Amino acid sequence: MTPAPRLRARGKVRDVYDVGEDRLLLVATDRISAFDVVLPDPVPDKGRVLTGLSSYWFARTADLVPNHVLSTDAATLPPPFVGEPVLAGRATLARKAAVVPMECVARGYLSGSGWAQYRATSSVCGVPLPSGLVESARLPAPIFTPTTKAAAGHDLPLDPDEAVALAGKGLFERLKELTLSIYERIADTAAANGVIVADTKLEFGFADRELMLIDEVGTPDSSRFWPADAYAAGGAQPSFDKQFVRDWLGGIGWDREPPPPALPADVVEGTAARYREAYERITGEPFGAYLARAGVVPRDEESPDEDAALERLREGRG
């Protein structure tokens, strides 16, 4: 009998399964969150964009730091996951790691919570910045602005002393070095394809005492992507991420408390289009080519309800 999957955790976006003593299966769903609340409407192909872009960046940063990826090939998944069409293009077999309890954020531009902090203190996470900067301004040099890693609710900014107290001096310095190096690699690569990476969030962990890059890398969920040809400092920027959803939620006056409102069809489709465009602009590859390479069945031939298929897996009805 095929063993039932063991759901280890269900995050805002990912389902994480135990599949062995030292391995995990990460499944990127189409769930979308905003202001730390999961919204009721999935965004088609979002999970596959996250998996495809993460795979792209894991491969292009492996010379800087090892990562947790073992395989993204659906044919290599362990039972009962092997052969599940819904997992094609959205599943990552990974090494288990002891997660560093800190979100590692690099910023090259002043936006989001960084802009809010700067207006209040002329600094971000305790890093002083020049006076007179405007929203979305390019910083003189990228900065490391870590936060807490909250299991629920909001991550909180950490100044350097707080981050050192959390991680230790040596690990803090290594995380800062790696985060800025990876950000510069991602930003330089994206810039060559007409995309500004305003900031990005990374996670690290230890496996067999080795520091590794884990979770996701350089995706629209973990980064701000702006079209370079439309960039103009002094206000909010058009983007290829979930800012489109945040803006709509702000426009209807949602108080950011559950329950969240349903998303209109045009907001869902507009967000999906932005995610796919992020993949295509950055990689230079049609998103359809990624889907074909991953063995994704065209939508008109697959189960019409991917959410139901993922729920079946979560409940062990494999």
Q: Which residues contact 139 (CB under 8 A, 6 or more apart)?
A: 107, 108, 109, 110, 129, 133
User: Residue 64 — pLDDT band, cuts 50, 70, 90?
Assistant: very high
Question: Which range has the worst mean pLDDT, 149-153, 184-188, 250-254, 272-276?
Answer: 149-153
% helix / strand / coil in the chain, to the nearest 5?
Answer: 35, 25, 40
User: Residue 131 — pLDDT band, cuts 50, 70, 90?
Assistant: very high
Nearest alpha-carbon partner for 102 in 174, 39, 32? 174
Tokens 């959390």 map to which residue? Answer: 166
Q: Can you name the CATH fold of 99-242? A: D-amino Acid Aminotransferase; Chain A, domain 1 (3.30.470)
DSSP characters over 81-142: TTT-GGGTTTEEEEE--EE-SEEEEEEEE--HHHHHHHHHHSEETTEE--TT--TTPEEEEE
Q: Which two tokens mark 24? A: 């995990």
Instruction: Give the domain ranges of the chain.
Output: 99-242
The pLDDT value given to residue 152:
60
Instruction: Name the more confident of 302 and 220.
Output: 220
d(CA 50, CA 276): 10
Question: At 30, is the secondary structure helix, strand, or coil?
Answer: coil
Q: What is the mean pLDDT of residues 244-272?
A: 95
Q: What is the mean pLDDT of residues 65-92?
A: 93
